[in-house]
Amino acid sequence: MSARLKLEDVHCTVDGQVTVARVRLSHRGRSASGTASARTTEGIWRHVVAQAALSAVREIIDGNLDVTLDAVAEVGSGRHPIIVVTMAMGRGRNEVFLSGTASLQGDRVAAVAKAVLHGLNRWVEPFLAIAASSLPVGPRLTGPLPRIRSN
């Protein structure tokens, strides 16, 4: 199994004057969703999707992530534009600046979430290991898994 986070689903909608995004991620059988919203302005959807992706990452690693979104931009790169996301992780002397990119060919909304994951994946692996090790260990269930509701 991969140690990296997997993007499962991304939605972004404009509901009147509010833009709302939801991102669902998975990691080794666990899944988590993050949401974000903001007042609708030109291009705000990129920022909202990136914030929702960060929220989902925080959820899947039990909140142990100090990352601030810096900027989200669409950049022309030859004939193929890309999304660039910059973030800051940590504080003070321990602050590290991260960036991630994704191609805008195909799903533009998913590209923003993919750029966030591209910038974070190698940095969150220790947190993912901690979150995975804190899962209860017990006998393996047989048959279908029980449904668990989560917000």
Q: CATH number for the domain including 73?
A: 3.30.160.270
Is 77 inside any structural domain?
A: yes
**Domain that residue 118 falls in:** 6-132
Is 145 inside any structural domain?
A: no
Is 79 inside any structural domain?
A: yes
Find residue 73's DSSP bridge partners: 84
Report pTM.
Answer: 0.81
Please report the sign of the dihedral spanned by the C-alpha atoms of residue 93, residue 95, residue 128, residue 131.
positive
Is 63 inside any structural domain?
A: yes
Is 147 inside any structural domain?
A: no
Q: What is the pLDDT of residues 50-74, one digit of tens each?
A: 999 999 999 988 777 788 999 999 9
34 has a pLDDT exceeding 60: yes
Is 151 inside any structural domain?
A: no
Q: Higher model confidence: residue 25 or residue 146?
A: 25
138 has a pLDDT exceeding 60: no
Q: What is the pLDDT of residues 4-27, one digit of tens each?
A: 889 999 999 998 899 999 999 998
Overall average pLDDT of the 77-103 stretch: 89
Is 138 inside any structural domain?
A: no
Rg (CA), the chain: 16
How many domains, the chain?
1
Is 26 inside any structural domain?
A: yes
Residue of 73, 108, 67 whose CA lies nearest to 88:
67
